[in-house]
Structure 1
Amino acid sequence: MTNTQIAKISLITIAIAWGATFLPIQYMLKNINVPSFLFFRFLISAILLWIISFKIGIKFDKTSTKFGVILGIFMFLDFMFQTYALNYTFSSTVAFIIGLNVVIVPFLMYFIFKIHLSFNAILGAVMAVLGLFLLSGTSGLRLGFGEVLSLISAFAYALHVVYTGRFARACNIYILLITQFFTMSFLTLIYALFFATPSKNSLNIFGGFEIWLSINFVYMIIFTAVFATVIAFFVQTKAQIYLTPEQTSLILILEPVSAGFIGYFIGNELLSKAQIFGAILIITAILINELNLTKFIRKFTRRIF
């Protein structure tokens, strides 16, 4: 297998794994507010990865540190605007608009780096958006405050994907991720202290910053820090050395697909026929992006004519 094929399989696995964390994280957020949870998740992730990098003798450098801070800011904007948006509009609408990053990424590549859009990328993105629209169960869209916040989140996510692909090729991945995680934990701590609303089930420390005193919290933080953060983001960053941002964003849209099916089979959530068809469209979009559709059509027409 080539490095590109391994990268694609790894990224598909990560997208499915992230989808599998939706249910346990949803349970966690009933007991602790979002920024406090994210602070602990990313702080522990940063410390774990720093210990690993220290053991194998990796040293910090200015370039990787600087780019890690930039990616950490993009990640923070994505998470926080997404969280704010949920207060003003439906979760299905937020999920759909944020999924529009699959369309935003190719256009960012064109406007920032002058990389032309391929027919496969455009067709795959359009099909993925249609599939996501059906999967999210969104009945209609209006451009309210929540929708605007969701769009900002989608742009931040797209920028994170685009620049991860660029920075991963020029930086030490360990330092890039450690700095990114520390930046994320610092910004979420500031947000929790001054802007977050305390929940009822956790111990309030200061402002909106809190901790959930439960063994389940310890288990879930360790699980999300190790598997859904350190391993997952390391694999994604490594994979993006060999994949284009367009390929990455399209593969990662499998996350809501896997979340939907896991919610259906494990969480007893219902999926309509339209949602199932939407999931099929997303998978088809990924396959179209992987196939040279233009070349296939030419060969097919030559055989006919």
Structure 2
Amino acid sequence: MGKSLFADLILLLVTLVWGATFVMVKNAVSLLPPFTFNAVRFLLASVVLGLIVWIMNRSVWRSFNRDLMKAGIQIGIWLFAGYAFQTFGLMYTTSSKAGFITGLSVVLVPLFSFWLFRQKIRKQTIAGVCIATVGLSLISFNKAESVNCGDLLVLLCAFSFAMHIITVSRYASKFSAFLLGFVQITTVGIFNALAALIFEKWRIVFQMDILMSPHVLYALMVTSVFATAFAFVAQSQFQKFTTATRTALIFSMEPVFAAVTAYLWANEILSPQAIIGSLCILTGMILAELGGDDSGGSTHATEHV
């Protein structure tokens, strides 16, 4: 198995984890405000990751420097912005529309990559992106709805997530995946904590009946370790062996996994339209994979910077 295919499979596993925790997070934020929940989630993940690195290979901290910190903070800011715009956007638009608009990062990544770094886009990848976008729209839209300010906020979320993927591709091969993930996760945690202080009743996190609620406690444990510490380190480690565009296509499977797990765990019914949309996304991914590397050469991210 080649490094590129193995990297894509790991990123697909990361996407599965994110999609599988959607129902869990949805239940948790019904009790704990979203910025507060994400502050605890990312700061806890930062502590967990820091301890793991210290126990397994503390010598890696010697490579911690100013350039790594700048790169991690830049990546973390884009990731936080994505979460923030999505959170505020959901106050004014529907979750289905937000899901589709967020998924437009699949389209934005190759466009931004070409604009910023002149990364070539293969015809197979363009076709795969288009098919995946159609699939996202089928999953997300059940009826025609007008555009509102929430949609524009979620569009900024899509821009942010696209830039997050691109910046990870830019820096992943230059620094330790563990340290880059640590700085990124810590940055997101700090910004979420500041947002919670400004916008939310954050003191609720100290109410033990809420914090120890099974919905909140299990969601924090699972998302902190698997959906954050593991997921973002894995992305930093393995995205260097694939391209930003293929990563975006793989991440477009998140609503598919979310829908499947919602059906299995919450008895939410998958409509025929959603099934067709899921198949379109899978087809788009396979088509892009068969097309090979977007740059026409090595899949290492350093060649696209």
Q: With structure 1 as the length reference, what TM-score do the two structures score? A: 0.89
Which residue number corresponds to residue 225 of structure 1?
A: 224
CA distance in 2, matches of 1:219, 1:145: 33
Q: Is the 8 A contact 2:113 2:166 kept in 1?
A: yes
Of 99, 103, 109, the residue aligned with 1:99 is: 103
| Cα RMSD after superposing both structures | 1.9
Given that 1:92 and 1:137 are in contact with CA atoms closer than 8 Å, whether structure 2 keeps it comes out as yes
Tell which structure's C-alpha radius of gyration is larger: 1
* Residue identity in the other structure for 1:49: L
**Contact 1:36/1:210 (<8 A) preserved:** no
2:256 and 2:106 map into 1 onto residues whose CA distance is: 14
Gaps of 5+ in 2: 293-305
Contact 1:168 1:238 in 2 (8 A): yes
Structure 1's 92 and 197: CA in aligned 2 closer, same or farther, altered over 3 A?
farther
Q: Partners of 1:40 and 1:141 in 2: how far apart?
A: 35
- The alpha-carbon distance between structure 1 residues 197 and 213, as it changes in their structure 2 partners (threshold 3 A), is closer
* CA–CA distance in structure 2, aligned partners of residues 219 and 264 of structure 1: 19
Cα offset for 1:20? 0.7
Measured in 2, the distance between the counterparts of 1:138 and 1:169 equals 41
* Residues 110 and 244 in structure 2, CA contact (< 8 A), matched pair in contact too: yes
CA contact (8 A) 2:15 2:250 kept: yes
- Structure 1 residue ranges without an equivalent (≥5): 294-305
Instruction: Supply the AA of the counterpart residue of 1:290.
Output: E
Cα deviation for residue 204 of structure 1 reads 6.0
Aligned residues: 287
Does residue 86 of structure 2 align to residue 82 of structure 1? Answer: yes
Shift of 1:36: 0.6
- 2:122, 2:291 within 8 Å by CA — same for their partners in 1? no
Could you say if the C-alpha distance between residues 87 and 197 of structure 1 is closer, same or farther in structure 2, counting changes exceeding 3 Å? farther
Kindly state the Cα deviation for residue 197 of structure 1 after the two structures are TM-superposed: 5.1
2:75 & 2:208 partners in 1: Cα distance?
A: 26
Give the Cα separation in 1 of the matches to 2:139 and 2:37. 27
Distance 2:277 2:110 in 1: 21
2:236 alignment counterpart: 237
Contact 2:180 2:236 in 1 (8 A): no
Q: Show the counterpart of 1:214.
A: 212
- CA displacement, residues 43-70 of structure 1 (integer Å, 9 cap, x when unaligned): 0111111122223121221111110000
Alignment partner of 1:151 out of 139, 143, 155 = 155
Tell me the CA shift for residue 116 of structure 1. 2.1
> What residue is the counterpart of 2:266 in the other structure?
267
The secondary structure found in structure 2 opposite 1:269 is coil
